[in-house]
C-alpha cells in the first residue's frame, strides 16, 4: 500500500514545491521548473576517453557543476532527482546490471554515501535492473609528480575484485558522476572484463573538457 501511495504523494508535493534551482517557479520535472531543466548545459551525446565511448548527459558547466558539487560534498541529497533525471535523458544501452563507480572506504566515511550508488539505485529502480558491486576501490594516493603512465597504473591499482560469488553479468553499465580523463572508468572496465563482462558501457552526468 505504501508503495502505491508514495508516488502519488510525491507528485502532490511536487506540484506545490518550488523549483530546486530558481526557487521561483513550481517544480515540473525532476524537482525543477521547465525553464531550469531546459537551461541545463545539455550534451546528451558520447565523449571519447581512453578509447572508450562514454555517454554524457551534460557538459560540466554551470549550473550542473555546482549541483554535482553540492550533492557530492555538501550532503545536498535532494538534488538526486534532477541528477538521476539527467541520466534518464541518455539513450542507455540494454544491460543486465548497473555498476556504480566505487569510492574508497575512506571517502565513504567522510561523505557518508557513494554519490554514484545513490543515483544508480534510482536508475536501477526505474530500469528494473540490479545494482552490481563486485569491485572495491582502495584509497587514492597522491598523483603529484607522477608521469601519465604512472598515474594510470596508480589508478588501476586502486580497483580490486572483491567478489567470491559466481554471479556474473555479461553486459553492464558503469555509472559515474563526472568524467574528466576517463581513467577511473577505464580501470573499472578492465576489472569487470577480468570478471568476464563482455560488454561494458559507461555513462556520466557531466563530462569536463580535458
Ligand atoms: Zn527553476
**Distance (Å) from CA 92 to ligand 1 centroid:** 26
Query: Cα(36) to centroid of ligand 1, in Å?
Result: 4
Cell numbers 565523449 correspond to what residue? 47
Query: Which residue bears the cell 581513467?
Result: 183
User: CB within 5 A of ion ligand 1: which residues?
Assistant: 19, 21-22, 25, 33, 36
* Distance from Cα 15 to the centre of ligand 1, integer Å: 13
pLDDT by residue for the chain (210 residues), tens only, comes to 455 567 777 767 666 789 999 999 999 999 999 999 999 999 999 999 999 999 999 999 999 999 999 999 999 999 999 999 999 999 999 999 999 999 999 999 999 999 999 999 999 999 999 999 999 999 877 778 888 888 888 899 999 999 888 899 999 999 999 999 999 999 999 999 999 999 999 999 999 988
Query: What residue spans define the domains of the chain?
Result: 1-39, 41-207
Q: Give residue 27 CA to ligand 1 midpoint distance, Å.
A: 7
CA of 28 to the centre of ligand 1 (A): 9
- CATH class assigned to 41-207: alpha beta
- Tell me how far the alpha carbon of residue 26 lies from the centroid of ligand 1, in angstroms: 7
State the Cα–Cα distance between residues 39 and 22, nearest whole angstrom: 11
Amino acid at each position: 500500500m505504501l508503495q502505491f501511495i508514495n508516488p502519488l504523494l510525491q507528485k502532490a508535493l511536487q506540484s506545490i514545491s518550488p523549483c530546486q534551482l530558481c526557487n521561483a517557479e513550481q517544480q515540473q520535472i525532476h524537482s525543477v521548473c521547465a525553464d531550469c531543466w531546459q537551461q541545463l548545459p545539455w550534451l546528451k551525446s558520447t565523449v571519447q576517453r581512453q578509447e572508450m565511448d562514454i555517454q554524457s548527459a551534460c557538459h560540466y558547466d554551470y549550473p550542473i557543476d555546482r549541483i554535482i558539487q553540492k550533492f557530492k560534498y555538501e550532503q545536498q541529497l535532494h538534488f538526486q532527482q534532477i541528477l538521476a533525471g539527467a541520466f534518464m535523458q541518455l539513450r542507455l544501452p540494454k544491460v543486465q546490471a548497473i555498476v556504480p563507480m566505487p569510492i574508497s572506504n575512506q571517502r565513504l566515511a567522510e561523505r557518508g554515501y557513494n554519490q554514484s550508488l545513490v543515483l544508480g539505485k534510482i536508475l536501477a529502480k526505474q530500469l528494473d535492473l540490479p545494482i552490481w558491486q563486485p569491485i572495491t576501490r582502495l584509497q587514492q594516493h597522491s598523483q603529484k609528480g607522477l608521469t601519465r603512465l604512472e598515474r594510470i597504473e596508480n589508478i588501476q591499482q586502486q580497483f580490486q575484485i572483491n567478489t567470491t560469488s559466481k554471479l556474473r553479468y555479461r553486459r553492464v553499465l558503469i555509472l559515474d558522476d563526472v568524467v574528466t580523463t576517463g581513467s577511473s572508468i577505464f580501470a573499472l572496465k578492465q576489472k569487470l572484463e577480468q570478471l568476464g563482462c563482455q560488454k561494458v558501457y559507461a555513462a556520466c552526468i557531466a563530462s569536463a573538457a580535458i
